[in-house]
Amino acid sequence: MATIQNNVQLVRRRIAQACAAAGRDPSAVTLLCVSKTQAAEQVRAAVDAGEHRFGENYVQEGLDKIAALAELRARIEWHLIGPLQSNKTRAVAEHFDWVHGIDRLKIAERLSAQRPPGLPPLQVCLQVNVSGEASKSGVAPEALPALAAAVATLPRLRLRGLMAIPEPSRDPAAQRRPHRRLRELLAALPPLPGGPLDTLSMGMSDDLEAAVAEGATIVRIGTAVFGARSAAGAGAGGGAVG
């Protein structure tokens, strides 16, 4: 358990150092701990270390953890960061606080219709395929303005910004390019109903610094917080892990 606390401190130090290098306030960058494949007790340890935002790739796994940690629900903000199918939207609308991977209007419409009126609006980001990879989910950059305009008008949702999972690279300059592209796409969107967009969900354990340098407001960190996942877990699909 102490390892997670140490890892959280190290990640927060990396965020602070990256912000200092970029001339940014560290409070402008939110750490989202990616808890995919991690046991509920690992999440509890991260809560004990001061973290309260957790990202899940798979709906059912996330629901299981939400139930297992029900006594902490008021303290935890649950984010769905993986692909979302139409038959899972009701459960997500009823139990999650954020959805990062919307790339189709149909999914947003279902979430809007199924969000219980007693809950705050569901916070959502649009996923953009900034690297143009055929294997990646995400709306094409040229289709983004129309999707954003449509989603921004839906009730029970609050469009917050954009999310991306760029193609991995070890080169710092190459890491920064897709993050810069996402920032430019956000800046180019016209004013939308519901207020200004303020979120860039980008950056993971290996490219946190590049993402912060280009304006990330949420970094999705899994490995650097919880340690390397098992081979079974690492191969279990979904690219939004950190």
pLDDT band of 135, cuts 50, 70, 90: confident
Burial class of residue 132 (count of CB atoms within 10 Å of its CB; 0-12, 13-18, 19+): exposed
Dump pLDDT digits (tens) for 53-77.
999 999 999 999 999 999 999 999 9
Dump pLDDT digits (tens) for 147-168.
999 999 999 999 999 999 999 9
- If you average pLDDT over residues 29-44, what whole number do you get? 97
- What is the C-alpha to C-alpha distance for residues 96 and 78, in angstroms, rounded to an integer? 5
User: What are the residue boundaries of the structural domains of the chain, listed by start?
Assistant: 2-226
DSSP, collapsed to helix, strand or coil, labels residue 53 as: strand
Helical (H) or strand (E) element with 201: strand 199-201
- What is the C-alpha to C-alpha distance for residues 100 and 90, in angstroms, rounded to an integer? 16
Q: How many CB atoms lie within 10 A of CB 170?
A: 8
pLDDT at 112 exceeding the cut of 50: yes
Query: What whole-number percentage of the chain has pLDDT above 70?
Result: 94
User: Could you tell me which residues come within 8 angstroms of residue 229 by beta carbon, excluding any fewer than 6 positions away?
Assistant: 36, 37, 38, 222, 223, 241
Q: What is the pLDDT of residue 228?
A: 81
- CATH T-level fold of 2-226: TIM Barrel (3.20.20)
Average pLDDT over the chain reads: 93
pLDDT at 241 exceeding the cut of 60: no
Q: What is the pLDDT of residue 234?
A: 41
Cβ 215 vs Cβ 231: under 8 Å: no
- What is the C-alpha to C-alpha distance for residues 165 and 152, in angstroms, rounded to an integer? 22
Dump pLDDT digits (tens) for 179-236.
999 999 999 999 999 889 999 999 999 999 999 999 999 999 999 999 986 544 443 3
Q: What is the pLDDT of residue 235?
A: 38
